[in-house]
Amino acid sequence: MGVTDRHDAEALDAGDPLARFRDDFVVADEPRIYLDGNSLGRLPRRTAARLAAGVEEWSTRLVQAWDDWIELPVLVGDRLAAACLGARPGEVLVADSTTVNLFKLAHAALDLRPAGPVVTDLASFPTDRYVLEGIARARGRDLVLADTPDAALDVAGAALVCLSHVDYRSGRLLDLAAITASTESMVLWDLSHSIGAVPIDLSAADLAVGCTYKYLNAGPGAPAFLYVRRELQAQLRSPIQGWFGQREQFAMGPGYEPADGIERFHAGTPPVLGILAVDAGVELVTEAGIDRIAAKGEKLTDLIIGLHDAWLGKLGFELATPRSARERGSHVALRHPDAWPIARALIERAGVIPDFRPPDLVRLGVPALYTRFVDVWDAMRRLRDLVASGEHRTVNAAARRVT
């Protein structure tokens, strides 16, 4: 056997300690192979039940259910912290979108650093760069868009450095703990592409945000989370002074005084049903164990890379993801000049759902909780055959694209 032998993939599935978790998800799209769970994760079976229970509670307890619901953003944040963030209770809040949370924390951080540029790098997810550009302009700071994370960390006198833990294109994974230990800069981490895929150690980190609809499988547009190190919380104020961040919320007094803990980073009324879906997703990560998830993710991406080397190099592909497993998350990017028509053809002709990232990347996400090794093997074979036959040149590449 070898990487190009399907039996090899079957054997990996047979020995996979997480194999049973696939049954925790609704898989209604076979024989399609879904490799875009890093854009939108699958529906966990328990989530439908959890949402139905939340809806039932709404209908029966009505406004009185808020006595319990009001605890959810911190409760689920604590569970998320314990499952895969290496953070302490009271340091994580489930709220708003990643974009809004990044806005809140970046603004707050600049209050502490009255001078210096806002720094990020070209690998930051677009919304991060856009948000920071707006904040820098509003606060009269320069925005430095460094070429690499290393270069971003080298910018002297930076007020704030914003880094993506896993690069949404290449899949490159930064050593968050080592960077945290070695830098003087205040770093705001975007964990959207690593949360639920690899263990994260925020124990010494200052600020982080991330999304829950990828590897946490909380559904389209599910609420995001934010993390603020306990020792920093009292020094930071959200620019969005909403009533859920107010100390005595229901006194409804005239002036704003931020709550003591992580709740001060709330804005408006939290989305209860969305948070219940986050809770269900976090529960699955807890049950599977983030270390086992990461170990399987490493093998899945290893398989992609092995098959790339065996089959795709001669078809014009180039690996855009680090070969060292310690330097990548749970997705792999393949560079090809025809990446866009290839991605379309995979969907339309080959029943494989990848993602495309401009200008030239086909991105394959392999969330460990439900992706099988044979899925990867079959998808790579279909990709090889598609490009070898030139069929991708016949698709309508003008089709609309949406993540």
What is the Cα Rg of the chain in Å? 22
| Secondary structure (DSSP) of 329-340 | -SEEEEE-TTHH
Shortest distance in whole angstroms from residue 107 CB to its own copies: 8
Q: Which is nearer to its own copies, 99 or 180 (CB)?
A: 99
Q: How far is CA 160 from CA 121, 183, 306, 359, in A?
A: 12, 11, 39, 29
Q: Which of 214, 296, 328, 357 is catalytic?
A: 214
Q: Determine whether 214 is an active site residue.
A: yes
Q: Which of 125, 168, 227, 373 is catalytic?
A: 125
Locate the DSSP E strands across 137-177: 143-146, 160-164
AA identity, residue 259: A
Q: Which of 79, 363, 372, 384 is catalytic?
A: 363
Q: Which is nearer to its own copies, 396 or 403 (CB)?
A: 403
Shortest distance in whole angstroms from residue 32 CB to its own copies: 9
Q: Determine whether 299 is an active site residue.
A: no
Contact 166, 173 (CB under 8 A): yes
Shortest distance in whole angstroms from residue 267 CB to its own copies: 5
Shortest distance in whole angstroms from residue 309 CB to its own copies: 27
Q: Determine whether 16 is an active site residue.
A: no
Shortest distance in whole angstroms from residue 151 CB to its own copies: 15
Q: Which is nearer to its own copies, 51 or 295 (CB)?
A: 51
Q: Which is nearer to its own copies, 271 or 322 (CB)?
A: 271
Q: Report the sign of the C-alpha dihedral through residues 370, 374, 375, 376, in that order.
A: positive
Q: Which is nearer to its own copies, 55 or 178 (CB)?
A: 55
Q: Which of 34, 103, 213, 370 is catalytic?
A: 213
Say what the alpha-carbon torsion angle 49, 54, 56, 59 is, to the nearest 10 degrees.
Answer: -160
Q: Determine whether 213 is an active site residue.
A: yes
Tokens describing residue 10: 């079957």
| Secondary structure (DSSP) of 67-106 | HHHTTHHHHHHHHHIIIII---TTSEEE-S-HHHHHHHHH
Q: Which of 36, 167, 190, 302 is catalytic?
A: 190
- Which residues are annotated as catalytic? 125, 190, 213-214, 363
